[in-house]
A and B are shown apart, each in its own frame.
Chain A
Amino acid sequence: MQVKNEDIIMQANKETPTVSLDRRHDVSKNPLCLSGKGVTREFHAGGTHTIAVNNVDFEFREGELVSIVGESGSGKTTLSKMLLGLLQPTSGDIYFRGKKRDISSGRKKKEYWKNIQAIFQDPFSSFNVFNKIDTVLLDCINMTGGKNLPADKKVELMTEACSFVNLKFAELTNKYPFELSGGQMQRLMIARIFLLKPKILLADEPTSMIDACSRATILDMLLNLRDEIGMTVIFITHDIGLAYYISDTVYIMEHGKFVEHGSADEVILTPKAPYTKRLISDVPKIHEPWDLSTVSGSAE
């Protein structure tokens, strides 16, 4: 407990309190990082047939911050599993840096995973509870070819990664992940990504279990990863306000299909698809009135 409080004081003294998340980049000329053509995933269970992702095309460029927005059941998670290579598409192809992605064998899959990493919604279940924080970070160094580095160099790398996310490595050694708070754990997760430096980061609702006040810090760190390492960040969320703030490009997903995509300003401020319009009008707002009359009481 003592360490936590010191950590707080340390941060309070140094951190800048305001964060601007408006860091749009023009990525239209960057080479393609991850793209898909006709990607479809069907599920068969107990006689029912569900098309979770239905013939979607996408093009994510290097250094782009893409948000995929949709309500629950729209197929966001199935798509992200396919992007991560945890599920195979039923049909269609995914291309990684212009070449068709090949994850047919375990070895090839491991090779692919060096290029793509993920942060999940629940920081509490993202870590192995038996591994100390040092081990978590050391694993990342070993995986990226730093196995034979001298010990002090390794410590230096870990310290650098921790300071990137405003954590103090010296206070984290010999601790277990569950001794940290949710926000700290999510930051440790980002420190891992900083060490691994993958080409693509898939963030599946990374802030939904984090408090509003810490949310800005986490989002700021994700943007820093993009700005400093040039990573492509794919942000999966149901919060259209959040997507508007941070993304270069927004894809709107409904029933397994992308109904609209384009720059964040284009999609959110001048939506064309009826679904996008509905999604935006249903979100409570601050400056514009929230029109409750557009829903009928017996909807559903």
Chain B
Amino acid sequence: MGKVMLEVRELTTKYVTRFREDVYAVDHVSLSIEEGKSLGIAGESGCGKSTLALSLMGYYFPPLHYMSGEIIVDGKNISGLDPDTVRKKVLGTDVAYIPQAAMNALNPTRKISAFIQDVILAHDPKANKKDIRDMAEKRFEELHLPKEALDKHAVELSGGMKQRVVIAVSTILSPKVLIADEPSSALDVTSQKVVIKMLRDMMDRGFIRSMIFITHELPLLYNVTDDIMVMYAGQIVERGSAKEMVFDPVHPYSRGLMRSILVPEDGTRNNKLIAIPGTPPNLKHPPEGCRFAERCKYAMPSCRYNSMPIIDFAPGRQYRCGHSVSHLREVYASEE
């Protein structure tokens, strides 16, 4: 077993709305990632994927509030630190973040090199500008990015290039954990492939020591990450290796998600898709029992009242459901 890079224990964060209502978008989430590994987070919009990403940075600003739990990056507890310390000591070196809309992440009036300077100076105010420039050039070369991009403004770059530049800027200090929140959703398939190749290269070269990859595109997750975790209404409902999750999902929701994958491959066309009716619960008033019970075809009356803990059922695999794994597998087999 490799060294644990990120360990999260029972992390809970909430949003406070204008009407002073609490919305627990991340509810008792625990996870861990080993060095050199990547974890994918899947789930539909509004399930708390992006909030989890923001929460993992330890950088909270209203309306998002930290409630409880621990975030430990390579042995260092970063939960509950004040935003200024997080910005100076944690972001960039321990945890780095890539937002979805790279197009809007770069200030249009500044050159790309200025962003790299900002990142480095925030951590080392005495850094020499020439050294920073050399470092940036070296990193761009290693990542096969044109060095000329350093002297350009964001508007002069294409969408895919902007996204790659944002990745290079946020990982310039070789972070221990990279959180990539839908880094390729706004891109074409070809640019998406280029971005993914770059992230994979960075993992192989050790520029990033572990990665959390968030997307709702399951085929992408399957190809990029080692493990996949499925979130529903602020909670983790299942975790396993990418292969297990795609071909042998246990939780009814993950199964629905995996069985809605549409890929252009021979023989997949007559696959039956699973349509899950309804919408996720309102997190202002989460249901007492299983959060998925309202939409679950297999829900028992008790599912609506008993809250389900997350259970380990095999090495590296966890699920949250009132039915036993063997029962669920039997039911699925009878349906095929």
Complex Cα gap A297–B200 (Å): 11
* Shortest distance from the beta carbon of B322 to any chain A beta carbon, whole Å: 16
Could you tell me if A212 and B216 are in contact, using CB atoms closer than 8 angstroms?
A: yes
Query: Which of B217, B223, B266 meets A269, CB within 8 Å?
Result: B266
Is A213 touching B269 in the complex (CB atoms < 8 A)?
no
A214/B276 in contact, CB under 8 A: yes
B222 near A286: Cβ-Cβ < 8 Å: yes
Complex Cα spacing A212 to B254, Å:
11
**CB proximity of A157 to chain B, nearest CB, Å:** 24
A14-22, A86-94, A112-120: which lies at the interface: A14-22
| CB pair A216 B269 closer than 8 Å | no
Q: Can you name the residue of chain A whose Cβ is closest to the Cβ of B293?
A: A12
Tell me if B190 and A71 are in contact (CB < 8 A): yes
A5 nearest CB across to chain B (Å): 7
Question: Given the complex, which residues of A lie within 8 Å of B263, measured CB to CB?
Answer: 241, 283-287
Whether, in the assembled complex, A174 has its beta carbon less than 8 Å from a beta carbon of chain B, the answer is no
A7 and B121 alpha carbons, distance in the complex (Å): 54
Measured between C-beta atoms, what is the minimum distance from A299 to chain B in Å? 5
Q: Mark B158-170, 1 if CB is under 8 A from A, else 0.
A: 1011000000000
Other-chain residue from A15, A212, A297 in contact with B197 (beta carbon distance below 8 A): A297
Contact between B262 and A17, CB atoms less than 8 A apart: no
A26 at the binding interface (Cβ < 8 Å):
no
The answer to whether A166 has its CB under 8 Å from any CB of chain B is: yes
B-side contacts of A11, CB under 8 Å = 277-278
The complex places the Cα of A183 from the Cα of B44 at a distance, in Å, of 12
* Cα of A244 to Cα of B190 in the assembled complex, Å: 18
- Which among A38-46, A95-103, A274-282 touches the partner chain? A274-282
Contacting A at CB under 8 A, from B209-231, are 216-220, 222-224
Q: Are B277 and A288 in contact (CB under 8 A)?
A: no
- Whether A8 contacts B277 in the complex (CB less than 8 A), given A282-B189, A300-B160, comes out as yes
User: A194-225: which residues lie under 8 A (CB-CB) from chain B?
Assistant: 211-217, 220
Task: Specify which chain B residues have a CB less than 8 angstroms from the CB of A1 in the assembled complex.
Answer: 282
B146 touches A298 (CB 8 A): yes
Hey, which chain A residues are within 8 Å of B260, CB to CB?
212-213, 215-216
- Structural contact, A18 and B273, CB atoms closer than 8 A: yes
Residues in B neighbouring A220, C-beta threshold 8 A? 275
Find out whether the CB atom of A5 lies under 8 angstroms from the CB atom of B265: no
Question: In the docked arrangement, what's the CA distance between A238 and B246, Å?
Answer: 23
A212: chain B residues within 8 A (beta carbon) = 44, 216, 218, 257, 260-261
Residue pairs across A and B with CB atoms within 8 Å: the count is: 163
Decide: A17 near B276, CB < 8 A? Known: A12-B297, A213-B257, A244-B269: yes
Decide yes or no whether B264 CB sits under 8 A from chain A.
yes
Interface size class of A (residues with CB under 8 A): 35 or more
Among B194, B261, B278, which residue has its beta carbon within 8 angstroms of that of A7? B278
Q: How far apart are the CA atoms of A217 and B256 in the complex, in Å?
A: 12
Given contacts A211-B44, A242-B262, contact A292 B257 (CB under 8 A): no
User: Does B182 count as interface, using CB distance less than 8 angstroms?
Assistant: no
CA distance A21 to B268 in the complex (A): 11
Q: Is the Cβ of A282 less than 8 Å from the Cβ of B190?
A: yes
Complex Cα distance, B217 from A54, in Å, reads 32
Closest to A14 in B: B277
Of A21, A71, A166, A216, most B-chain CB atoms within 10 Å: A216
A274 CA to B217 CA, complexed, in Å = 25
**Interfacial chain B residues near A139, Cβ < 8 Å:** none
Contact between B223 and A284, CB atoms less than 8 A apart: yes
Cβ 8 A contact of B161, one of A17, A213, A240, A300 = A300
Interface centre among B144, B194, B264 (most CB of A within 10 A): B264
Chain B residue with Cβ nearest A8 = B278
Q: Is the CB of A15 within 8 A of B282?
A: no
Question: Is the CB–CB distance between B257 and A300 below 8 Å?
Answer: no
Least distance between A273 CB and chain B CB atoms (Å): 15
| Given A20-B270, A20-B273, A295-B193: A240 touches B216 (CB 8 Å cut-off) | no
| Closest-CB distance, B312 to chain A (whole angstroms) | 26
Q: Does B194 lie within 8 Å of A295, measured CB to CB?
A: yes
Within 8 Å by CB of B274, from A18, A238, A269, lies A18
Residue of A nearest to B247 (CB): A286
Q: Which residues of A contact B261 (CB under 8 A)?
A: 212, 241, 286
Decide: A297 and B277 in contact? CB cutoff 8 A: no
B192 CB contacts on chain A under 8 angstroms: 282
The answer for the CA separation of A212 and B45 in the assembled complex, in Å, is 9
Q: Is the CB of B193 within 8 A of A22?
A: no
Can you list 5 A-B contacts (CB < 8 A)? A8-B295, A19-B274, A214-B275, A240-B189, A241-B261
Give the top 3 A-B pairs by smallest Cβ distance, nearest first.
A297-B144, A8-B278, A211-B44
Interface residues in chain B, defined as those with a beta carbon under 8 Å from any beta carbon in chain A: 44-45, 143-146, 158, 160-161, 188-194, 196-198, 200-201, 216-220, 222-224, 246, 253, 256-257, 260-266, 268-279, 282, 294-297, 335
4 other A-B residue contacts (CB within 8 Å) besides A212-B261, A238-B189: A166-B277, A240-B264, A285-B265, A300-B194
